[in-house]
Structure 1
Amino acid sequence: MPKNKTNDSNRLSQVVADARRHMQDREKTYREKALKMYPHVCGRCGREFSGKQLRELTVHHRDHNHDNNPPDGSNWELLCIYCHDNEHGRLEVAESYDNHSPSKEKSADSDFSHKPFAALEALLKSKGGDDADH
């Protein structure tokens, strides 16, 4: 039985390695194209990149679909690693708000039964003109 687990583990490791290699090859291809097409400037902060710093410039897919790589580069923009992280962080925050909108969810405590000023009007009326003198 341990042999099967080892074989399964080896197959899984191979699948993961192949997927990573495929992703890196695909990324390398569109990254090289984007770097040839666009100036080496971050599309958000405007920082310029050259030499070794060029590795900090990433390709962002505007529609967030990494398989959408048109030859004209219309789905790409170059972003520095900081702006790229910020862009994806903003998307995650927006998605979390979409999934947990307070207007969509009604919590148990949203129906307040305690009304602290409910008797205020009656109290004021019972005092009548007394308050007018103060």
Structure 2
Amino acid sequence: MAVSNDKSAKVDRILAEQREYIAKREGGYREKSLKMYPWICGRCTREFTRANLRELTVHHRDHNHDNNPSDGSNWELLCVYCHDEEHTKFENMVRYGSTTAKDIPPATFNPFADLKAKMEKGNS
């Protein structure tokens, strides 16, 4: 009997922890954004259902995960692939600078410009 009561108490404790975890998550920004926005990727427009909802993520537009206004103005729903691409673009901008194209002038130096003259000078 004591073993049965111990198992029952353990199951009750695990269920209580699970309920608390679910309640905490529902108060989180992911759940708020999923209730606020349609389940569509903001980049590729892929649509999601409950079956594949785990592949839809919340992207923080300013890349600050602590900036979670209740109106959702800093959130964007993106699929895992587009979310990864957004973070890659941001990392590249931080690492390499602006992502705008720069006009690089063509090279004008020609190391062989007077090669013929140099070769004739060497033969004399």
TM-score by length of 2: 0.59
2:32 is matched with 33
Q: How does 1:12-23 map to 2 (within 5 A)?
A: none
In structure 2, relative to structure 1, the CA distance for the partners of 1:71 and 1:117 (3 Å cut) is same
2:55 is matched with 56
1:70 is matched with 69
- Letter aligned with residue 117 of structure 1: A
**Deviations for 1:14-33, whole angstroms, at most 9, x for unmatched residues?**
xxxxxxxxxxx679700000
Secondary structure, aligned partner of 1:35: helix
Between Structure 1 and Structure 2, the one with more helix by share is: 1
The answer (yes or no) to whether the contact 2:29–2:68 under 8 Å persists in 1 is yes
Residue 51 of structure 1: how far off its partner (Å): 1.4
**Deviations for 1:76-119, whole angstroms, at most 9, x for unmatched residues?**
010000100011011112222129xxxxxxxxxxxxxx943257
2:113 is matched with 117
Secondary structure, aligned partner of 2:51: helix
- Letter aligned with residue 30 of structure 1: Y
Matched, 1:45 2:44: yes
In structure 2, relative to structure 1, the CA distance for the partners of 1:34 and 1:71 (3 Å cut) is same
User: Which blocks of at least 5 consecutive residues in structure 1 are unaligned?
Assistant: 1-24, 100-113, 123-134
1:129 is matched with none
2:105 is matched with none
Aligned Cα root-mean-square deviation (Å): 2.8
Over the matched positions of the two proteins, sequence identity in percent amounts to: 62
How far apart, CA to CA, are the structure 2 residues paired with 1:30 and 1:36?
10
- Letter aligned with residue 42 of structure 2: G
How far apart, CA to CA, are the structure 1 residues paired with 2:57 and 2:85?
13
How far apart, CA to CA, are the structure 2 residues paired with 1:91 and 1:27?
28
User: Which blocks of at least 5 consecutive residues in structure 2 are unaligned?
Assistant: 1-23, 99-109, 119-124
In structure 2, relative to structure 1, the CA distance for the partners of 1:96 and 1:83 (3 Å cut) is same
